Structure 1
Amino acid sequence: MSRIARLALPPAVAVAQVVGTYHVQQFQLVSERLGREPLDWRGSLLLLVGPIALAVRRRWPVVALWVTLAATWDYLLLDFAYGYVFISPIILIFWAVISGHRRAAWLSSGVTYLFFVAYATWLIPVPQGWFHHAAVAAFLLLTLTVAEFTRARRERLVEAKRVAAEETRRQASEERLSMAQELHDVLAHNISLIHVQASTALHLIDDHPEQARTALATIKQASKDVLTEMRGVLSLLRDGAPRSPTAGMDRLDELVENSGLPVTVTIDGDVRPLPAGVNRAGYRIVQESLTNITRHAPGSRVALRVTYGPDELAIIVEDDGTGAATAVHGLGGGNGIPGMRERVATLGGSLTAGPRPEGGFRVTATLPLPAEETK
């Protein structure tokens, strides 16, 4: 209910109860069977108690309910006209249920029913029977039932909104984690490459300037690549921002070429489009593996084998450990292998990493492919 409707409800009910009662009493006063009395200042005052209680129902819902019912009982005991006086009690019983005061609503309704039974049996000129009592009970039960249904529906909507908000927060958290992982992979690989090539350029710039030029060109390309990929990842933070294509297995040749390592690439099976998650994870696994080799065994010969199976993508990256250059220090331990394991586990795959018996290091990853991706 809007704020305007909440403010308008009490005066609207006051007008309806007072004006409506003056109207209906014209027909009830002529009936000796009903035994009604003309409305006076006492009746008018009692008719205003309910609307006043409606104005404070949000702060004191139970007090407003009992005060209104007591005023209604007094009104009936003074033999004023039936009808519009019941508007306020109905609204406040309904409000007590949907505002969480169910016990008070049901208890007050039970007391009101007993009052009506006693009143209609002993306190009016023509006593009423079971039909009247059943009608009163049915009306009260209908009011309570509709109120309970409304309350339950509101609670379901609130719970649905809470679950939706929680899911939104969870997805946002996962997206932030994914972006952090992407940034780690991009920065770790390219900065390691830049560091190695810069060291090579400094070593060769005096005696072999042409080879130093090649290293500097690699640094230029690597820095360009890292800026491009960082823009692509960070653009996810801006709605409507242009997004660069995500790095995938179709860019392995470029990745190998820019690694500065002697890599032999073998592709087995039928090359085909991969699901986005598998495509990105496969690329990052190869990238992180080459980064680790650049850090710990630069110059080693590397064998990269990618196998497109019917229901899985297998990746093996291994080096012989005979690096001709000195390992790169000062780049930090990073989170490379644990990050790769986490990425693979998220997709339901497996990853092993460890030294080879004959020397060097091997990373083996298996990523499942969905049935619709197979041929």
Structure 2
Amino acid sequence: MTHQEPPRGRRIPGIALRHRWISSVMVAVAQLIGTNGAARNQSGRVHLDALAYVLLLAGPALLPLRHRLPVLVAAGTTTVAAVYLALGYPYGPVFLSVIVAFFTAIGAGHRRAVLIIAGTVYTVEQLLVGHWLYRWLPPAGDGPTSWMTTSGIAAWLLAVLAGAELFRSRSERVARERRERAEAESRRAGEERLRIARELHDVLAHSISVINVQAGVALALMDEHPEQARTALTTIKAASKEALGEVRQVLSTLRAPGDAPRSPAPGLDRLPELAEQAAGAGLKVDLSTVGARFPLPPGADLAAFRIIQEALTNIVRHSASRTARVRLGYGPEGVELSVDDDGPSSPRAEPAVSGGNGLVGMRERAAALGGTVEAGPRPDGGFRVLAKLPTGAAGTVAVATEEEGR
């Protein structure tokens, strides 16, 4: 049986409880050893006895509950420390458990409760006991607490509260940053899933449309014109091989996201291949370019190719037109793509679902680059897909170069 480690960032109750006990024991040891050491130089205080040790251990004994009952533990440890000092025992690190309890309670958001506890205990211990009840409390012959000592303890208490508040602020900031990182990672994962879904849709929709058309041709011609059926089957084989290659490329990013893809992503330089595939499905593609052509950024190049691919796929599937016109316009603001067919709708067209993935994918690709896609019927008949993709400084530089050449 293999041992599975817990997911990072998830607190295991057993481990958390063990850590609380360990920290509480460390506080208890520090209070006992530190107080014994400090008592050697305080001959005027009451010697440590059994009750003193009980009080020194009572505060740390409450600390394991500090995450479940932070306010009660803060009140309990403060009361125990106040009773210890009121009985005249030596000064020392008896306040360690109070500091831990205050930090935990304020970190949990109980700032007001801790302020009330600290103010109440300070008033009772320093003002009531230190300036009035000391007459009836040990050690015998002890005088009132000096105002300098009272002020010093007040300053120390304020410093502890300020430190606890800083600790709370930092903990909240760390938690917020951790939460924002988790949200950002989740958002990136969602965007990556959407990108892969778009890639798979575009690849499969185009290739399967070609395969579907050619399969119908092959079935129709198999008996009377076997040679023409063989040509259709050859087209099917080539389209399926290319689709498998592109699907492998997309899926490889899932298996090894840090590795570079084995083959470059398709771009506008592959438009002739796309036109040849469309021709295999019976669609003639006329390509034209306006303006000085310049290399596009990889993301824009891929988006432009996929938009044209999807538009041609829709013509094959839904239009009776056997001709499509693809126009590329290069300008200072970017590239403009238009894909037109003369229609009408094919009687054998597959029923289109409103807001299908094809048009949505086009718009998402363009929007990711700050561009737009418009798709709809033309006034003179047929259908048009018009996409505008900004390319930033690349287009401006290319146009300026062309003008200088003139």
TM-score (norm. length: structure 2): 0.83
Q: Check conservation: 2:106, 2:114, Cα contact below 8 A.
A: yes
Structure 2: any 5+ residue segments left out of the alignment?
1-10, 136-141, 398-406
Report matched runs for 1:154-233 at 5 Å: 154-233=171-250
Structure 1: any 5+ residue segments left out of the alignment?
none
Q: Does 1:93 align with 2:102?
A: yes
Report matched runs for 1:207-286 at 5 Å: 207-240=224-257, 243=261, 244-260=263-279, 261-286=283-308
Q: Distance in 2 between matches of 1:77 and 1:136?
A: 14
Q: Does 1:121 align with 2:121?
A: no
Q: 1:266 and 1:204, CA in 2 relative to 1: closer, same or farther beyond 3 A?
A: same
Aligned length: 368
> What is aligned with 1:292?
314
> What is aligned with 2:362?
340
**SS in structure 1 of the partner of residue 326 of structure 2:** strand
Q: Which moved more, 1:207-216 or 1:36-45?
A: 207-216
Shift of 1:314: 0.8
Shift of 1:228: 1.2
Q: Check conservation: 1:196, 1:328, Cα contact below 8 A.
A: no
> What is aligned with 2:7?
none
> What is aligned with 1:10?
24
Report matched runs for 1:282-321 at 5 Å: 282-298=304-320, 300-321=322-343
Q: Check conservation: 1:259, 1:290, Cα contact below 8 A.
A: yes
> What is aligned with 1:42?
51
**SS in structure 2 of the partner of residue 28 of structure 1:** coil
Shift of 1:138: 0.9
CA RMSD of aligned residues (A): 2.5
> What is aligned with 1:153?
170
Q: Distance in 1 between matches of 2:62 and 2:360?
A: 64
Give the one of 74, 83, 88 matched to 1:74.
83
- Residues 302-339 of structure 1 show CA distances to partners (whole Å, capped at 9, x for unaligned) of 2211112121211111123389xx65444764533343
**SS in structure 1 of the partner of residue 41 of structure 2:** helix
TM-score (norm. length: structure 1): 0.89
- Structure 1: 4+ residue segments shifted above 4 A: 1-5, 330-334
Q: Which moved more, 1:104-113 or 1:137-146?
A: 104-113
> What is aligned with 1:136?
153
Identity among equivalent pairs (%): 46
Give the one of 347, 352, 363 matched to 2:374.
352
> What is aligned with 2:384?
362
Q: Check conservation: 1:190, 1:226, Cα contact below 8 A.
A: yes
Q: Distance in 2 between matches of 1:39 and 1:309?
A: 89
Question: What letter matches 2:130 in structure 1?
Answer: A
**SS in structure 2 of the partner of residue 304 of structure 1:** strand
